[in-house]
Amino acid sequence: MSVTVFIPGALRGEAEGAASLDVAVDAAATLTTVLDAVGLRYPRLDRRIRDEHGQVRRHVNVFVGEDECRRLSGVATAVPDGAEVRVLPSIAGG
Amino acid sequence: MTYLLAIGTKKGLFTAVSDDRESWRVTGPIQLGGDASTLQSGVYAVGIDTRRDTPRLLVGADSAHFGPSVWHSDDLGATWTEPADNAPIALPAGADKSFARCWQFAFGLDPDVVYAGGEPHSFFQSNDGGLTFTMNQAFWDHPHRPTLFPGAGGAAIHTILPHPTDPAKISIAMSGGGFYRTDDGGDSWNPYNQGIRADFFPDPYPEYGQCVHKAARAAGDPNRMYVQNHGGVYRSDDEGGKWTSIADGLPCDFGFAIVAHPHRTDTVINFPINADANRFLPDNQLQAWRSDDGGDTWRSVSHGLPTDPYFGIVLRDAASTDGEQVPGYYFGTRCGDVFSTTEDSEKWTQVTSHLPDVLCVRAARV
């Protein structure tokens, strides 16, 4: 199945300038398997999104469809075929 | 000759280049690799490795959003990269925390060995010139580590002082932790804080837990160390075995930065701050103080600095020397001003102004 992952502007340089990536994953994919697939192609991009233990960084929000993953099952959230996954920096900084 | 000054700030890396250490061309903020957020990342650690045929610059930066990493440049800062396949610096699987920030680089005797200090309290070694680092497990497993009180600045190893001739001996310092040393190449670590005050504990002289803000190893005598503590300025003549106050003669004993002369054992430069509860400059004047007798006496060396009231202190790594035969000294402030001087002039000149808070500076002839 295929999932589209949208990349925030600041990180597109880590994905050869792409605004989004079409990611092929097996059925019954979770957010972890989607981000693992992203990491295989663009490991530096993956490290910006997740820490060394595979957890989404504190001030990064990853939406699966309309819901931020922490309101679902975190990185274990199921990702259906055709889903849109959006990586967005949270409101932070000064 | 070309001199490079790397300036890490609260928002990004800046560099300055000079032919004469008087006139500087400043560039920045500089994007590190493909991550545009690094333009505003906090740069807490910079290193200039001049042991290589081509100097290598190292930067430890962390984005509030996208986390920390270490970038390197082999073209004097024109381009930056980090390894793709492996995180340059990270805590190992099983650690109960994730790596937060790189605070320090130091260079070992082997030209490919680079040390890094991190937050949470962690010590790293690179054997490939700073491209990738491996955490020292012995320090991570030290029974003291989980009991250390982090200061507001963070729970970090912020100072690393390799021995100049014995690769097995490395000293480190931490705020809310104190001064530690390994004599066996990192297999074991022991505290060396005797005589350093800790006013924030019921026992002001505990075995460990002191808030050492910065430590420096003197040139010429590897046993001679200087410490700027969270209250107190100290000297050791036995590599940390015992510490003696050298604060008399300074306007106050609080501060963050302390810089040892690159060639003279007894010369050290200090940047006083009023007190823990009054973190402004004495008389609201930007000032540096120098001792040429191991801290027995001090004199102000502030010629050329602003004389208007000034409110930006010098943070722990925001002062450095280029190590030249005629040394240059550099410091930056939380007001984003950077100053330099040379040993033969003792007059500070302004390198740049109005940067974000200056967190660290390193300089070298490249």
Tell me the helix, strand and coil percentages in chain B, rounded to 5: 5, 40, 55
CB A53 within 8 Å of CB A75? no
Mean pLDDT within B41-66:
96
Lowest mean pLDDT of B151-155, B158-162, B304-308, name the range: B151-155
Phi-psi label, residue A33: left if phi above 0, alpha if psi -120 to 50, beta otherwise: alpha
pLDDT digits (tens, 9 = 90+) for B190-229: 999 999 999 989 999 999 999 999 999 999 999 999 999 9
Per-residue H/E/C for B154-180: ECCEEEEEECCCCCCCEEEEECCEEEE
| pLDDT at res. B271 | 98
Residue A46: pLDDT band with limits 50, 70, 90: very high
Q: Which residue among A44, A55, A59 places its CB closest to the CB of B64?
A: A59
Mean pLDDT within A17-40:
97
| pLDDT at res. B234 | 98
Residues near A72 by beta carbon (within 8 Å), at least 6 away in sequence: A64
Strand order in the sheet with B157-162: B157-162, B170-174, B178-182, B190-191
Q: How far is CA B323 from CA A22, B15, B196, B262, in A?
A: 52, 18, 28, 5
**Taking CB atoms and an 8 Å limit, are A92 and B99 in contact across chains?**
no
Classified as helix, coil or strand, B191 is: strand
Residues near A44 by beta carbon (within 8 Å), at least 6 away in sequence: A14, B33, B34, B35, B82, B84
| pLDDT at res. A91 | 85
Residue B20: pLDDT band with limits 50, 70, 90: very high
For B35, the token pair is 């991550």
Mean pLDDT within B2-21:
98
The yes-or-no verdict on residue A93 having pLDDT over 80 is no
The yes-or-no verdict on residue A94 having pLDDT over 80 is no
The yes-or-no verdict on residue B258 having pLDDT over 90 is yes
Q: Does B99 touch chain A (CB under 8 A)?
A: yes
Q: Which residue among A10, A60, A92 places its CB closest to the CB of B36?
A: A10
CB B66 within 8 Å of CB B81? no
The yes-or-no verdict on residue B171 having pLDDT over 90 is yes
pTM of the full predicted structure? 0.97
Reported as type and span, the H/E element at residue B139 is: helix B137-140
Q: Which residue among A9, A52, A57 places its CB closest to the CB of B91?
A: A52
Residue ranges of A 29-68 with Cβ closer than 8 A to chain B = 43-44, 47-49, 51-53, 55, 57, 59-60
| pLDDT at res. B150 | 75
Reported as type and span, the H/E element at residue B138 is: helix B137-140
**How far apart, in whole angstroms, are the C-alpha atoms of residue A85 and residue A49?**
12
CB B237 within 8 Å of CB B251? no
The yes-or-no verdict on residue B146 having pLDDT over 90 is yes
Average pLDDT, chain A: 96
Higher pLDDT, B280 or A93: B280
| pLDDT at res. A92 | 73
All structural domains of chain B = 3-365 (2.130.10.10)
Mean pLDDT within B329-337:
98
Q: Which residue among A13, A43, A90 places its CB closest to the CB of B65?
A: A90
Mean pLDDT within B313-325:
98
Average pLDDT, chain B: 97
**Eight-state DSSP code of residue B99:** -
Identity of the amino acid at B212: V
Of all residues in chain A, what percent carry a pLDDT higher than 70? 99
**Taking CB atoms and an 8 Å limit, are B35 and A11 in contact across chains?**
yes
pLDDT digits (tens, 9 = 90+) for B64-115: 999 999 999 999 999 999 999 889 999 999 999 999 999 999 999 999 999 9
Write out chain A residues lying below 8 Å of B40, CB-based.
Answer: 93
**Taking CB atoms and an 8 Å limit, are B35 and A93 in contact across chains?**
no
Q: How far is CA B233 from CA B84, B152, B244, B245, B252, in A?
A: 43, 20, 8, 6, 9
Q: What are phi and psi of A71, to 5 degrees?
A: -85, -10
**How far apart, in whole angstroms, are the C-alpha atoms of residue B167 and residue B8?**
28
Identity of the amino acid at B161: L
- ipTM of this complex: 0.95
CB A8 within 8 Å of CB A20? no
B319 pairs with which residues across the strands?
Answer: B331
Residue B154: pLDDT band with limits 50, 70, 90: confident
**How far apart, in whole angstroms, are the C-alpha atoms of residue B138 and residue A45?**
31
B33 pairs with which residues across the strands?
Answer: none
Identity of the amino acid at B150: P
Surface-to-core class of residue B54, CB atoms within 10 Å of its CB (0-12 exposed, 13-18 middle, 19+ buried): exposed
Closest by CA to B284, choosing from B316, B314, B313, B256, is B313
The yes-or-no verdict on residue A49 having pLDDT over 90 is yes
CB B3 within 8 Å of CB B364? yes
Q: CA nearest B86 in A: which residue?
A: A43
Mean pLDDT within A78-89:
97
